[in-house]
């Protein structure tokens, strides 16, 4: 395993909060790939995501900063990481998908959040038009 002279690490990262949005795991994957990290992200429950990755420690720290999101659909409460020696298990960074029922649940919650945002936007438009 080569990491251009920097000391490689393996990190297990637990992210908790309002993470019940199917796009959060995809965002983690894109950021990890941008940082040349290898490993995976998976939802352990509707409010916890686990990331296992290997790469430069600086890249892992950068990942942890970039995935602390607070917006309309995701609100990260905590990011905890534990470092270990790399094992060289990974070739790419991927999203591990849960069982079908869990993924359908996550998709429905994402859709409900989107509909609530859309409803609030319409309310603002209507309120603005009545002034």
| pTM over cut 0.95 | no
What are the pLDDT digits (tens) for 69-91? 988 778 899 999 999 999 999 99
* Residue 15 in this model has a pLDDT that exceeds 90: yes
pLDDT band at 131 (very low <50, low <70, confident <90, very high): very low
Its sign, for the CA torsion 96, 101, 105, 108, is positive
Q: CATH assignment of 8-129?
A: 3.30.70.100
pLDDT band at 103 (very low <50, low <70, confident <90, very high): low
Q: Where are the domains of the chain?
A: 8-129
What are the pLDDT digits (tens) for 115-126? 777 777 777 888
């Amino acid at each position: 395993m080569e990491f251009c002279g920097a000391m490689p690490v393996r990190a297990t990262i637990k992210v908790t909060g309002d993470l019940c949005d199917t796009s959060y795991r995809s965002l983690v994957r894109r950021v990890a790939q941008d940082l040349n990290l290898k490993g995976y992200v998976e939802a352990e429950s509707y409010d916890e995501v686990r990331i296992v990755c290997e790469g430069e420690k600086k890249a892992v720290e950068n990942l942890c900063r970039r995935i602390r999101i607070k917006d309309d659909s995701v609100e990260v409460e905590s990011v905890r990481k534990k470092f270990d020696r790399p094992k060289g298990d990974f070739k790419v960074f991927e999203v591990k998908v849960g069982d079908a029922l869990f993924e359908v649940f996550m998709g429905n919650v994402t859709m409900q959040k989107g509909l609530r945002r859309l409803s609030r936007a319409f309310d603002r438009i209507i309120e603005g038009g009545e002034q």
